[in-house]
Amino acid sequence: DSGVTQTPKHLITATGQRVTLRCSPRSGDLSVYWYQQSLDQGLQFLIQYYNGEERAKGNILERFSAQQFPDLHSELNLSSLELGDSALYFCASSVGEGKGTEAFFGQGTRLTVV
């Protein structure tokens, strides 16, 4: 158990809908990262927050947004969903920032858009 909790584990929704994925980082970790894992794109970095502030942005669509709350949990909001958004979404957390900092991953949320 990595200590990172993601809910829900599975989500099935229709095209055009909006969903929210939730992540609780390990106790004491200030950084949260979101990744998308799909068969054709591999593991893609979406966005990072550190202590409530957005730190880095990757290949995140405009239809997607995220935030980190004062209690450090994070939510990833996906709207106007398309079939191609079906993927495994991972959250990871780390104590701080730094090149050698280890990131701990949750078990992921599997999103299926039908």
Residues forming the site for another protein (CB under 8 A): 2, 4, 31, 33, 35, 42-43, 45, 48, 55-56, 58, 90, 92, 97-108
Q: Which is nearer to another protein, 19 or 47 (CB)?
A: 47
Distances (CA, A) of 33 to 14, 96, 111: 26, 11, 17
Question: Please, which residue, 70 or 100, has the CB nearer to another protein?
Answer: 100
Taking the complex as a whole, the smallest distance from the CB of residue 102 to another protein amounts, in Å, to 5
Q: Which is nearer to another protein, 79 or 107 (CB)?
A: 107
Calpha distance 22→108 (Å, rounded):
10
Question: Which of these, 35, 7, 9, lies nearest to 103 by C-alpha position?
Answer: 35
Tokens standing for residue 47: 């966005």
- Nearer to another protein by Cβ, of 43 and 114: the residue is 43
Contact 64, 46 (CB under 8 A): yes
Comparing C-alpha atoms, which of 32, 33, 14, 8 is closest to residue 79? Answer: 14
